Amino acid sequence: MIQFDHVSFQHAMSKSPVLHDLNLVIPEGDLTLVIGRTGSGKSTFLNLINGLVPHFTGGTLSGRVIVNGLDTRENPPRDLAGVVGTVGQNPRAGFTTDTVEDELAYTMESLGFTADVMRRRVEETLDLLGLAGLRNRSLDTLSGGEQQRVAIGAALTAGPKILVLDEPTSALDPTAAEEVLAAVSRLVHDLAITVVMAEHRLERVVEFADHVLRIDAWPATLEDPAEAMRDHGLQPPVVRLGQALGWQPLPLSVRSARRQAATLRLAHFDPPAARAGGERVATMQGAGVRFGGIEALRGVDVALRSGQITALMGRNGAGKSTLINLLAGAHRPDRGRVSVDGQDPCGLRGQDLLSRIAYVPQDPTDLFYTDSVAAECAATDRDTGQAPGSALGRLKSLVATVDDDVHPRDLSAGQQLALALAIQLASTPEVVLLDEPTRGLDYPGKVAFAQWLDTLARSGCSVLVATHDVEFVAVIGDRVIVMADGEVVTDADVRTALTSSPAFAPQVQKVLAPLPVLTVEEACAL
């Protein structure tokens, strides 16, 4: 179905190939999971399948990629559109219409399908992905999981034999991610569609894979998932737990791990206390925000304390980003008060702002001003009075695979995030606000990032992290605030919050429940 014959690729401005001498065949009806370090070439690999590389990106391609009998060198992306459906990391960026039904029909209109075929395929896709009740809804009113399913549906209506998905669950809450993965699994098993998926949150997807391709290994080959998960730093928690305890077979899912953990669940566990934090450094009292007819926040009361890491969680659209924007001074509340160090954050400017608040939004490109990674890091060192190379060192601790001469906007999503973190966390402000900071980061990068945040908290910073990454929260969190429909529904220490909610429980907790164990390290110490 998909054949790579001695394929290598090098970006135009890169010093070395991002992919080298790939030789493999992905069979029909296979779900292949592509894994690798941040910036290792996963998105490039996917775009070789749909022809965007090199027809759109440029660069030097050697070897041949054959997709359903078509050579991508000789057939540009428009010729492959009916064979390969693609869903990128941000589905909203790919929407071209206003409503669900119109979006599902758009690709077929572009390819010249007749009206009766379009009508039939729209109806089939609505039923297949559980979207019938949303057909007339505006795309802007959908949750993240619903938007992702619409994006997949829009790619499916043209009748492709191959579906390429680039981190389809990275921006989704746990429940929405399960919905999307269930839909993808149906496509593979019921329709024999070949799915090639790149993903960092392997705890969500590895159990669904038929094969795993580690793109940064050489030679890169299709492997059995259990074998592919052994002996490297890209293992999800349940696999790390199984390998640490010598379980055979190596578990890929909570279900299989729980069967082997019966004796371990009888152990005694005294959970350590979470950091309580110090004085209040930021408060929100009765804050309300309305966007048109949508009430994004409804009388929210929140207090952040120094020396504490707080995780802000909840479904897509619950109000997390709006809350962070208020604290960052990016938006004023329609009612209520917001205070950082006793001042209105909207009134802070210049050094007063930098000394009090560090903010990394969901789109980190808003923070980039120069034309290379090296220049961006050097400017940060000058502005903060740090030694030359400090910001670049922080960046490389998160993501080693960054070319210093590349334009920041040409980096992968994970590399862009790491650069934004390296820039914004150059100083030690009173409040650190991070909106989905682990999107695109691999497991080793998250470990380094967790150490950063712990250091900040120990120095007295109050850190607020809006995230869907429950595994990251289990490692770094002291306190968890859960939001729903613009209101705070839970405000508790991390262990109480994560063990009381099936939706937000990390893998290790699910394996060892009712023991309140959250991490692999805690489990191995039993």
Q: Give the pLDDT score at 377.
A: 93
pLDDT band at 52 (very low <50, low <70, confident <90, very high): very high
Question: What does the pLDDT look like over 197-235, one tens digit per residue?
Answer: 999 899 989 999 999 999 988 888 999 999 999 888 899
The torsion angles phi and psi of 368, rounded to 5 degrees, stand at: -100, 135
Q: How many CA atoms lie within 13 A of 92 on its CB side?
A: 12
The CATH code belonging to domain 2-234 is 3.40.50.300
Q: How many CA atoms lie within 13 A of 14 on its CB side?
A: 19
- CA 104, CA 124: separation in Å to the nearest integer? 11
pLDDT for residue 147 is more than 90: no
What is the pLDDT averaged over residues 234-254? 94
Question: What does the pLDDT look like over 94-111, one tens digit per residue?
Answer: 899 999 999 999 989 988
Q: Give the pLDDT score at 289.
A: 94
Structure tokens at 161: 């034999």
What is the pLDDT averaged over residues 51-62? 91
Lowest mean pLDDT of 68-72, 397-401, 417-421, name the range: 397-401
Percent of the chain with pLDDT over 70: 100
Domain spans in the chain, listed from the N-terminal domain onward: 2-234, 280-505
Question: What does the pLDDT look like over 115-143, one tens digit per residue?
Answer: 999 999 999 899 888 888 889 999 987 87
pLDDT for residue 177 is more than 80: yes
- CA 507, CA 1: separation in Å to the nearest integer? 34
- Listed in sequence order, the residues at least 6 apart from 517 whose beta carbon sits closer than 8 Å to its beta carbon are 269, 271, 508, 509, 523, 526
Q: Give the pLDDT score at 266.
A: 92
Distances (CA, A) of 295 to 279, 299, 333, 346, 485: 31, 10, 11, 21, 8
Q: Give the pLDDT score at 440.
A: 82
Q: Give the pLDDT score at 441.
A: 85
Q: How many CA atoms lie within 13 A of 360 on its CB side?
A: 25
Q: Give the pLDDT score at 9.
A: 94
Ramachandran category for residue 119: left, alpha or beta (phi over 0 → left; psi -120 to 50 → alpha): alpha
pLDDT for residue 13 is more than 80: no
* Two domains, one topology: 2-234 and 280-505: yes
| Helix (H) and strand (E) counts in the chain | 22, 19
pLDDT for residue 457 is more than 90: yes
Q: Give the pLDDT score at 107.
A: 87
CB atoms within 10 A of CB 49: 22
**Per-residue H/E/C for 403-457:** CCCCCHHHCCHHHHHHHHHHHHCCCCCCEEEEECCCCCCCHHHHHHHHHHHHHHH
Q: Give the pLDDT score at 383.
A: 85
Pairing type for strands 308-314 and 479-484 reads parallel
- CA 45, CA 52: separation in Å to the nearest integer? 10
Q: What is the 3-state composition of the chain as percent helix, strand, coil, each rounded to the nearest 5?
A: 40, 25, 35
pLDDT for residue 350 is more than 80: no
Question: What does the pLDDT look like over 64-102, one tens digit per residue?
Answer: 999 999 999 999 888 898 899 999 877 777 899 999 999
pLDDT for residue 354 is more than 80: no
What is the pLDDT averaged over residues 274-281? 90
The pLDDT mean for the chain works out to 91
Q: Give the pLDDT score at 140.
A: 83
Q: Give the pLDDT score at 467.
A: 94
Q: What's the predicted TM-score (pTM) here?
A: 0.89
Structure tokens at 397: 């601790």
Question: What does the pLDDT look like over 299-341, one tens digit per residue?
Answer: 999 999 999 999 999 988 889 999 999 999 999 999 999 999 8
Beta strand ranges found along 276-395 (DSSP E): 280-291, 294-305, 308-314, 335-340, 357-360
What is the pLDDT averaged over residues 40-62? 92
Q: Which CATH superfamily does the domain covering 280-505 fall into?
A: P-loop containing nucleotide triphosphate hydrolases (3.40.50.300)
Q: Give the pLDDT score at 255.
A: 94
Query: Is the Cβ–Cβ distance between 136 and 105 less than 8 Å?
Result: no
Q: Could you tell me which residue, 352 or 237, shows the higher pLDDT?
A: 237
- CA 393, CA 374: separation in Å to the nearest integer? 11
User: What single-letter DSSP state applies at residue 275?
Assistant: P
pLDDT for residue 382 is more than 80: yes
Q: Give the pLDDT score at 415.
A: 87
What is the pLDDT averaged over residues 474-495? 95
Its sign, for the CA torsion 180, 182, 183, 187, is: positive
Query: Is the Cβ–Cβ distance between 332 and 279 less than 8 Å?
Result: no
pLDDT band at 466 (very low <50, low <70, confident <90, very high): very high
* Burial class, 292, CB count within 10 angstroms (exposed 0-12 / middle 13-18 / buried 19+): exposed
User: What single-letter DSSP state applies at residue 132?
Assistant: G
Q: How many CA atoms lie within 13 A of 298 on its CB side?
A: 11
